[in-house]
Amino acid sequence: MAEMGKGVTAGKLASNVQKRFTRAQEKVLQKLGKADETRDAAFEEMVANFNKQMVEGGKLQRDLKAYLTAVKTMHDASRRLQDCLAEMYEPEWFGKEEVDAMAEDTDTLWLDYHQSITDKSLDSMDTYLTRFPDIKARIAKRDRKMVDFDSARHHFASLQKGKKKDEAKIAKPAALLEMAAPSWAQGLISAHQVAQTNLSYNQAEEDLGRAQKVFEELNVELQDELPVLWDSRVGVYVNTFQSLAGHQEKFHNEMSKLSQNLNDIMTKLDEQRQVKKGATAAGNTEDTDKSEAANHSESASSPPKVSKQTNRPGPPPNRPPSRLTPSPEQTEQHGSLFEDDSTATPQQCESSSGANLLDWDLEVFQPVTFPAPEAPSWDSWPAVTNGSEDELPQGFQFKVKAMHDYAATDGDELELKLGDLVLVLGFDNPDEQDDGWLMGIKESEWLLKKEAAAKGVFPENFTQKV
């Protein structure tokens, strides 16, 4: 027999062509309703579940690959970021060696995370999906064998129905042969025709048996495997996402530790910078004092300077002590020594001294120098407003007057207008008081509402004690 190719003969090729033609003819007859089709509703439901399971598995596989691609991208971005930090980090900064070691640990952590997901999640998903192409091919083969079975069944049924008709067709030519052929040949012709009819019938029956056997074997195997495969999807999904979640948790825990270490290093570096900055600022204190002394000579109408560091005015200049009017007791005490003696008579002077003024030594009339009274501090003055201490807010210290307008920049600051009177209060926590800042409430607000809720901080060098 001539060969058409490797393992393919002309007879086999002709047989395959004949099978395809027969299947196509059978499907056309089934669609036209001229031939019935073998149907199995339970198996069709299994096939629908299989197709759904295959689609879901393929989508999960694609999404896992996309996730791994994103992990790889994040790994590359993290490596570049760590390399950038290592290049910028100067050797004399705190934690240089720790930062370099942290970059290596971060890179290793990303590599382990990517490899773990690949091995435990993606590879197991790939193994799971390798079963689908084989089963899909077997389902397609089962469908083809079912068409072959239907075709053989219909052919055999048609032979059964047409057996009597075929015998009648055979009998009619035999009657003609009786007139032309010798008598001894008539029996041979009839026997030959009957044998041909029986041979076609037997051949159709054998073809039907073989087609049915092949179809039923495939059908039974698939009916056993498809439900098991459908139920296995739950375990596959559980293992895949449980493994993924476990590796994610481990990765993020380790990455959190590295991030905390990096944050601690950055905090320590900032603290050292602040300490160094403070030392530099302390060295410039003398220049700052000279600058503030120069500010004392400025006109009272010129606006005070505001510190750029905190957006608030700097510490106020030192104020000279106020000139206080001596008390009535001091005036009476010192004034009695210099009272006008024009009304005193010589006799009174003599009686008071026991001698004549003309006999006194002139040194007695030398001017007497009295020590100047010490000016009391502001804290020693009684806190009196409108003649009643009970009307003052709690913690009142003294009163000031705004010498310049001040626009508040924070919610806890006090808005000042030129001429506003402010009652200065003490801070609830003295540690919260900034240098050059006071706590107070406008006198007009206090007299109107008697509530300290409107208090706020304000720059001392914008005001003057009254």
Cα dist. 192→165, 205, 318, 327 in Å? Answer: 17, 20, 143, 162
| Residue 182 binned pLDDT confidence (cut-offs 50, 70, 90) | low
| Residue 284 binned pLDDT confidence (cut-offs 50, 70, 90) | low
Q: Using CB atoms within 10 Å of the CB of residue 149, give its burial: 0 to 12 exposed, 13 to 18 middle, 19+ buried.
A: buried
Give 385-435 pLDDT, tens digit per residue. Answer: 444 545 788 889 999 999 999 998 888 898 999 999 999 999 888 888 888
CB neighbour list of residue 305: distance below 8 Å, 6 or more residues apart:
295, 313, 314
Give the mean pLDDT of the chain. 74
Give 310-352 pLDDT, tens digit per residue. Answer: 444 444 444 334 333 344 444 444 444 434 444 444 444 444 4
Q: Which residues pair with 439 in a beta bridge?
A: 425, 457
How far is 192 from 433, CA to CA, in rounded Å?
A: 128
Give 7-25 pLDDT, tens digit per residue. Answer: 557 666 666 666 776 777 6
How far is 314 from 307, CA to CA, in rounded Å?
A: 5
Give the pLDDT of residue 190: 53
Mean predicted confidence (pLDDT) in 263-267: 91
Give the fold, CATH level 3, of 385-465.
SH3 type barrels. (2.30.30)
For the four alpha carbons of 269, 270, 273 and 274, in that order, the dihedral sign comes to negative
Lowest average pLDDT, out of 83-97, 271-285, 327-341, 383-397, goes to 327-341
CATH number of 22-280: 1.20.1270.60
The domain limits of the chain are 22-280, 385-465
pTM here? 0.47
Cα dist. 151→10, 33, 40, 200 in Å? Answer: 24, 14, 17, 15
Q: Residues 303, 404: contact at Cβ < 8 Å?
A: yes
Give 42-58 pLDDT, tens digit per residue. Answer: 988 999 999 999 999 99
- Helix runs in 181-301, H state only: 183-283, 285-296
Q: Residues 436, 462: contact at Cβ < 8 Å?
A: no
Q: Residues 462, 402: contact at Cβ < 8 Å?
A: yes
439 in helix, strand or coil?
A: strand
More confident residue, 206 or 140: 140
Over 60: is that where the pLDDT of 62 sits? Answer: yes
How far is 398 from 419, CA to CA, in rounded Å?
A: 16
